[in-house]
Homo-oligomer: A and B are copies of this chain.
């Protein structure tokens, strides 16, 4: 048999290998794992049996019947076919690592795929299911996978909900409210928001949460939008600058993308404002650098590691056609308090600095 041809990875049971090799399951385990005392002849017999059972060509009826590859795919197509190194963005990197640990714990491999809409990859890569991060409206990858009958779990709520959808998302409403409540407690009365323009659901969810929160408290709605592509360093700094030019000036600015804290700090410096004495700053981000900025920046963590873990859990349930599974799951964000929101000098003079 040509070992270079492609085969499905099916996981035969210890019992099946033991029966074929004529040994106990304990011996199979020892032989395959290099533990205990097993003669070399027995080890070879066990490996031959494992190979025979686990190594049938994919085209055989048996392999098709079992069908399992042991592989879960993961990709992000939020930015279409732009070559985005998404795993270098802290949120996506931590999501991938969380999904990886959960997949490994359950005996699956995690195949992390490039951000690409190429149908070639989607049509022919062997996998049992896919975690689709940040799908767009009418995302072509979804129809390609549906055509193959491959289960999908989305990270992020689909733009247009369908009955069969399965998704895991951070509770963005709860996350933004954690930041806003904390800023209000720290003395802020005019809390502004910089908001990216993009057609995924995230900016809309954040905007809804912000507008509702302001309406509930009868405080002003202060929003500036910025273009998020190809990058948002300059555009968000400009948007934050426009907010700080307003009269009366906001006493806090919240940003919702990974680099927002850096961008708002830069705008504050440009306006000669000291954080947190003159202005409070917070953002939604997983970037560990905020622990060491000047000042360190308070951030909402969306817990992408837990989003990845829940997505794997749900995907494996779908692959195994488990019933009674919760197909829509929200992960609770956490607030990481740092000096950028220690309190305004006018409202709480003792706590500044």
Contact = CB atoms under 8 A, between A and B. Distances in A.
Copies in the complex: 2
B123 A101 contact: no
A72 to B, nearest CB: 10
Contacts of A107: 114
Interface string A281-305: 0000000100110000000000000
Contact of A123 (B5, B54, B103, B125): B54
A101 B93 CA distance: 10
A308 to B, nearest CB: 11
A231 interface: no
A5 B291 contact: no
Contacts of A11: 120
Given A83-B105, A109-B112, A112-B112, A9 B149 contact: no
A184 interface: no
Contacts of A97: 87-88, 93, 96-97
Interface residues of A, number: 68
Interface in A2-35: 2-12, 32-35
B100 A109 contact: no
Given A3-B147, A34-B80, A148-B4, A57 B54 contact: no
Contacts of A103: 114
A8 B124 CA distance: 6
A9 B35 CA distance: 37
Interface stretch (A63-71, A216-224, A265-273): A63-71
Interface in A119-133: 119-121, 123-126
A263 interface: no
A19 B120 CA distance: 16
Q: Which of A6, A12, A100 has the most CB of B within 10 A?
A: A6
A124 to B, nearest CB: 4
